[in-house]
Amino acid sequence: MKELQMCVGIDLARRSEHKAVVVRRDGSAPKKAFAFSHDLDGFRSLCDYIGRQTGTGSVEGVTVNFEPTGGVWETLGLFLKKQGADVYFTRPDVVSQMRKVHSRFAKSDRIDAYALARIAFSFPDRLIPLVEIESRVRALRSLSAQRRRIVDNTSQWKNRLTSKLEVVWATMLAKLDKDQRFCGLARAFFVKFVDPRSVTRYGRQRFYTWCGKTAHGNTDPQLFDTLWHGACKVAALWKELESSGAMHVDWETLGEMIKQDLRMIESFEKEINLLDQRIREARRQTPECDVVQQLPGFGNVVSVTVASTLMPVERFGNSKKCGAFTGYTSRQKASAGRQIDGLKITKTGNCRLKRDLALAADRAMRCDPELAAFAIRLLNAGKHYNKVRVAVGRKLAERAYSLLKRFARSETHVRYIWRDLQGHSVTKKEAADIARKLWADYNARKKQKGNPPTAA
């Protein structure tokens, strides 16, 4: 980074005006911050103000730093970058600590803007350059994030519905798999038979006939038996509870709440299907997703998240920096020449990227020999399984960076090569067989030592 003589710190606001402070290397700055609005006139007035401070009449080559605030920071940053300014942003936690250094007992927009400008002189390595994202990548990233939010909302509504059902159907729900609880037959069952005693009054033969008409073709027939026997046991319990006066339930109200929750879940699932269709269309303009999907453990969802988040890969100098960008790196602490190991990972990094890499790591270490051997080595060293997942997830991110880097260099037919423990190229099936054998040997050794084997 060039030697700075002046930096502009901008304290962004969502509703009020933005504040800018120009700070020179000697620490001198105007006593009053420059306020400007969110519109084009405000942006141009900021450029004119900076031009007067520099004496050149333009923002060409001027360093600007701000804290990413809500959704207002990128528009201003890209505008200034198009005007020729060097635009950076700094993480909020760094800005907070720097502000306390300059003013511990006072906080104002000017102090925040001053602290942002001083970071460029005191800690230039904390400046993160603003990178312009292609429209196709931006669209795919937004669609992926929206899908994750709706999936999380769907899970929350399913949990709410489960808590309502457990009041009555706890005995039967314990015997159902997570997927069976919300299959088409189970949903129709909880709507039709709110009161468990209505199932027994329906009759077994008639109930099985109803299940056969209601269930889809791929429904497990054993689910019919589970629902019938579970309903009989629950009906006997509630017959005793209500006859003894221990507990009474308004079955009509409960039925209405169940229907409302199911309508919410179905509406979310329809939105997810629409987003999946839109993501498939957007992927056609982003072949990098297909390149990344060759990695072990990567499916349609994970490949979109990883590719759209890491692109453009040119901003990472090497794979190590890309791995650090994921947030899968441990905190560092040293004193008196002694390094303290085993600390938790940092809280930085994209949450969706972290979660999807951890999910991919679960599968990847079971089908890739190199990752399997790496994971087993960490487990033998006494590492917790979650730490192993983090380490494998970081390796997957670095491998994704390597594939994307090669694709960015216009290399044709970029392919992921499966290798055995000696580094020789093997087929995907042969690699899975080698990894399966490694885990079988590991579980056998753990069993001999008297420890429970790792779940395969």
Instruction: Answer whether residue 274 is part of any domain.
Output: yes
C-alpha closest to that of 23 among 6, 46, 4: 6
- Cβ neighbours of 323 (radius 10 Å): 19
Whether residue 129 is preceded by a cis peptide bond, meaning omega within 30 degrees of 0, is no
Asked if residue 425 and residue 391 are part of one domain, the reply reads yes
* Model confidence pLDDT, tens digit, residues 379-431: 999 989 999 999 999 999 999 999 999 998 877 688 999 999 999 999 999 99
Question: Does residue 23 sit in helix, strand or coil?
Answer: strand
Average pLDDT, the chain: 90
Asked if residue 213 and residue 159 are part of one domain, the reply reads yes
* Model confidence pLDDT, tens digit, residues 129-182: 998 899 999 999 999 999 999 999 999 999 999 999 999 998 889 888 888 889
Asked if residue 402 and residue 358 are part of one domain, the reply reads yes
Instruction: Answer whether residue 454 is part of any domain.
Output: no
Q: CA angle at residue 162 from 158 to 166, to 5 degrees? A: 180
If you average pLDDT over residues 233-250, what whole number do you get?
86
pLDDT recorded at residue 256: 95
d(CA 168, CA 349): 42
β-strands 338-340, 333-335 pairing: antiparallel
51: burial class by Cβ within 10 Å (0-12, 13-18, 19+)? middle
* Model confidence pLDDT, tens digit, residues 194-207: 999 999 899 999 99
d(CA 260, CA 157): 10
75: burial class by Cβ within 10 Å (0-12, 13-18, 19+)? exposed
Asked if residue 141 and residue 111 are part of one domain, the reply reads no
pLDDT recorded at residue 106: 81
Instruction: Answer whether residue 199 is part of any domain.
Output: yes
DSSP letters of 63-105? EEEE---TTTHHHHHHHHHHTT-EEEE--HHHHHHHHHHH-SS
DSSP letters of 123-146? -GGG-EE--PPPHHHHHHHHHHHH
Instruction: Answer whether residue 456 is part of any domain.
Output: no
pLDDT level of residue 452 (50, 70, 90 thresholds)? low
Asked if residue 331 and residue 234 are part of one domain, the reply reads no
Asked if residue 372 and residue 350 are part of one domain, the reply reads yes
Asked if residue 358 and residue 403 are part of one domain, the reply reads yes
Asked if residue 25 and residue 121 are part of one domain, the reply reads yes
Instruction: Answer whether residue 37 is part of any domain.
Output: yes
Asked if residue 35 and residue 50 are part of one domain, the reply reads yes
Residue with tokens 């269930």: 215
Asked if residue 416 and residue 311 are part of one domain, the reply reads yes
Residue 2 pLDDT exceeds 70: no
CA-to-CA dists, residue 103 to 24, 98, 99, 121, 171, angstroms: 18, 9, 6, 17, 60
d(CA 154, CA 118): 45
pLDDT recorded at residue 450: 66
Pick 348 or 342 by higher pLDDT.
Answer: 348
Q: Which domain holds residue 108?
A: 6-129
d(CA 283, CA 290): 8
Instruction: Answer whether residue 343 is part of any domain.
Output: yes
Asked if residue 123 and residue 39 are part of one domain, the reply reads yes
Instruction: Answer whether residue 257 is part of any domain.
Output: yes
C-alpha closest to that of 36 among 5, 64, 55, 1: 64
- Cβ neighbours of 206 (radius 10 Å): 10
Q: CA angle at residue 197 from 164 to 247, to 5 degrees? A: 55
Q: Count Cα atoms within 13 angstroms, Cβ side, for 93.
A: 3
Are 116 and 20 in contact by the 8 Å Cβ rule? The answer is no
C-alpha closest to that of 91 among 344, 333, 320, 348: 348
Are 108 and 243 in contact by the 8 Å Cβ rule? The answer is no
pLDDT recorded at residue 241: 86
d(CA 39, CA 397): 39
The predicted model scores a pTM of 0.85
Among the candidates 112, 129, 146, a domain finishes at 129
Among the candidates 99, 129, 159, a domain finishes at 129
pLDDT recorded at residue 178: 83
- Cβ neighbours of 62 (radius 10 Å): 24
Helix axes 300-310, 135-173, angle to 10 degrees: 140
β-strands 34-36, 63-66 pairing: unpaired
Report the CATH number that the domain containing residue 11 is assigned in CATH. Answer: 3.30.420.40
Residue with tokens 């599968």: 363
Question: Does residue 52 sit in helix, strand or coil?
Answer: helix
Among the candidates 255, 282, 309, a domain finishes at 282
CB contact set of 237 (below 8 Å; sequence gap of 6+): 171
CA-based max dimension of the chain: 90
Asked if residue 274 and residue 292 are part of one domain, the reply reads no
d(CA 196, CA 111): 65
Instruction: Answer whether residue 455 is part of any domain.
Output: no
d(CA 407, CA 417): 15
Domain tally, the chain: 3
